């Protein structure tokens, strides 16, 4: 019973927080550019508007994929927030991302196919690091269960500082921020139209937006795990860390330009590879 | 409650404009005017747009493009003709290749005259268009 209430709360609250974060993001971005920016609730207005729009259908199947993608992303959020298995969460998260790519291929517009290809490249760039993060957390705590990882005395960040930096590096892909917003950035609309979401309109576009809110929160939960310990005060620090990381991403987004895919892929592999291998080697040398 | 007045996404198409009006449209996005205050996003995608902003007159080359863009937009949608060229053909009416204003091809909802139309006038036009968008949304519900 408790679990059911918890799950319902997670499913309802996660997108609300994610949406607020997106509104916050847009205001900060505007301020960085010297503008006033939209109201805080703007992302919700956008989604509600999209729900009221006409439904256009370009073919029979392509809409199905975004709903499946949303389903898997919700599942990931639930697994992570009830303290479940981090490996399972990562695999389900990947599945959600893959279905989103399928949606891009299925809509068959040249723009969405380019978007889908770029999304696959991005996944290639960030996926290894996500797995290494899980491996690192396992080395520290000898368990894959988030509930147990965060119930230790020393936060994981102490043992895994370089892995954390590597994870923040690939967070830029996950949050679809410049310089790695190759597939569907808000800034790429002139060259790519809108990448994967080109052919989606109305309700499905709203679903894509909500999926992204969930994904933002999921990404920040990874950051959170690095900082939390059995001490209740640590939750405050973890939330501050999440906010700092998110602010960093917003400022990075506004101060860099999109890079070519070669650079995105190579730099992601080199940076995350070097950092995490070094970190894990030192860790295995001294601790275990 | 209709939310389209709170989040109008704009698709900007350049018919055969001299670029004067285009620059004024972009000026609306700059810090001085900042239309994002009203939730306006300049999308490059007709499927996501609510308002079609056309600058410049249309000619035989651009007619099919303009029509296609309009058809690809999801209802409710409005068309705003920005600049005197887009409203009537303006200075170029007598040119052999110019067909005339945008209303020769599409049902234009708001005309924003001026050469070039000032950013204030364009924002005014968009706000007028929002009222029409709202009416269309209500009509759609019925
Ligand atoms: S109205 Fe004037 S500024 Fe605008 S496109 Fe026509 S000629 Fe250029």
Question: Domain map of chain B by residue range?
Answer: 4-141
A contacts of B41 (beta carbons < 8 Å):
186
How many Cα atoms are found within 13 Å in the side-chain-facing hemisphere of B64? Answer: 2
Question: Span A250-275, mean pLDDT?
Answer: 87
**Cα gap B73→A12, rounded to integer Å:** 31
**Cα gap B82→B125, rounded to integer Å:** 8
Check residue A71 and give its pLDDT. Answer: 93
B48·A49 Cβ contact <8 A = no
Question: Span B97-102, mean pLDDT?
Answer: 85
Question: Span A10-29, mean pLDDT?
Answer: 90
pTM: 0.90
A52·B31 Cβ contact <8 A = no
Q: Is the pLDDT at A166 greater than 70, yes or no?
A: yes
Q: What is the helix (H) or strand (E) element at residue A78, kind and residue range? A: helix A62-81
CA of B27 from ligand 1 middle (Å) equals 15
**Cα gap A173→A129, rounded to integer Å:** 11
What are the φ and ψ backbone dihedral angles of B51, each rounded to 5 degrees? -120, 130
B39 at A interface, C-beta within 8 A: yes
Q: Is the pLDDT at A156 greater than 70, yes or no?
A: yes
Please indicate whether residue B83, judged by its CB atom, sits closer than 6 Å to ligand 1: yes
Contact B78, B50 (CB under 8 A): yes
B36·A35 Cβ contact <8 A = yes
**CATH code assigned to B4-141:** 3.40.50.12280
A33·B137 Cβ contact <8 A = no
Site to probe by mutation for ligand 1, drawn from B15, B18, B62 as the one with most ligand atoms within 8 Å of Cβ, is B18
Please indicate whether residue B18, judged by its CB atom, sits closer than 6 Å to ligand 1: yes
Q: Which of A155, A58, A174, A167 is nearest to A106 (CA)?
A: A58
Banded model confidence at residue A173, pLDDT cuts 50, 70, 90 = confident
CA of B22 from ligand 1 middle (Å) equals 9
Banded model confidence at residue A78, pLDDT cuts 50, 70, 90 = very high
Banded model confidence at residue A213, pLDDT cuts 50, 70, 90 = very high
């Amino acid at each position: 019973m408790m679990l059911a209430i918890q799950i319902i709360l997670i499913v309802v609250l996660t997108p609300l927080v994610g949406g607020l974060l997106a509104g916050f993001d847009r205001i900060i971005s505007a301020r960085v550019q010297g503008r006033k920016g939209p109201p805080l609730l703007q992302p919700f207005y956008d989604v509600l508007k999209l729900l009221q729009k006409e439904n256009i259908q370009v073919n029979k199947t392509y809409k199905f994929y975004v709903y499946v993608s949303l389903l898997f992303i919700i599942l990931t959020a639930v697994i992570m927030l009830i303290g479940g298995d981090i490996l399972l969460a990562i695999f389900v998260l990947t599945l959600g991302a893959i279905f989103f790519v399928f949606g891009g291929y299925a809509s068959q517009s040249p723009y969405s196919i380019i978007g889908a290809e770029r999304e696959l490249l991005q996944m290639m760039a960030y996926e290894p690091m996500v797995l290494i993060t899980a491996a690192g957390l396992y080395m520290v705590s000898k368990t894959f269960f988030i509930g147990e990882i965060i119930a230790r005395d020393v936060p994981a960040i102490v043992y895994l500082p370089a892995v954390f930096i590597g994870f923040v590096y690939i967070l830029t892909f996950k949050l679809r921020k410049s310089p790695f917003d190759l597939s569907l950035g808000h800034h790429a609309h002139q060259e790519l139209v809108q990448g994967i979401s080109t052919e989606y309109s109305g309700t499905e576009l709203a679903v894509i937006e909500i999926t992204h809110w969930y994904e933002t929160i999921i990404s920040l939960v990874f950051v959170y795990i690095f900082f939390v310990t059995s001490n209740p005060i640590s939750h405050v620090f973890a939330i501050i860390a999440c906010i700092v990381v998110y602010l960093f991403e917003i400022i990075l987004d506004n101060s860099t330009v999109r890079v070519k895919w070669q650079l995105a892929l190579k730099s992601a592999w080199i940076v995350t590879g070097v950092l995490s291998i070094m970190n894990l080697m030192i860790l295995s040398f001294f601790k275990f | 409650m209709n939310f389209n007045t709170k989040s109008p996404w704009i698709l900007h198409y350049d018919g055969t404009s001299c670029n004067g009006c285009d620059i004024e449209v972009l000026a609306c996005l700059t810090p001085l005017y900042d239309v994002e205050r009203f939730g306006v996003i300049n999308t490059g995608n007709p499927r996501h747009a609510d308002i079609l902003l056309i600058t410049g007159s249309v000619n035989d080359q651009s007619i099919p493009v303009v029509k296609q863009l309009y058809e690809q937009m999801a209802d409710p949608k409005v068309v705003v003709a920005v600049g005197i060229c887009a409203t009537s053909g303006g200075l170029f009416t007598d040119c052999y290749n110019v067909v005339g204003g945008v209303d020769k091809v599409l049902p234009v909802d708001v005309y924003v005259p001026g050469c070039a139309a000032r950013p204030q006038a364009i924002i005014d036009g968009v706000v007028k268009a929002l009222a029409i968008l709202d009416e269309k949304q209500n009509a759609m519900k019925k």
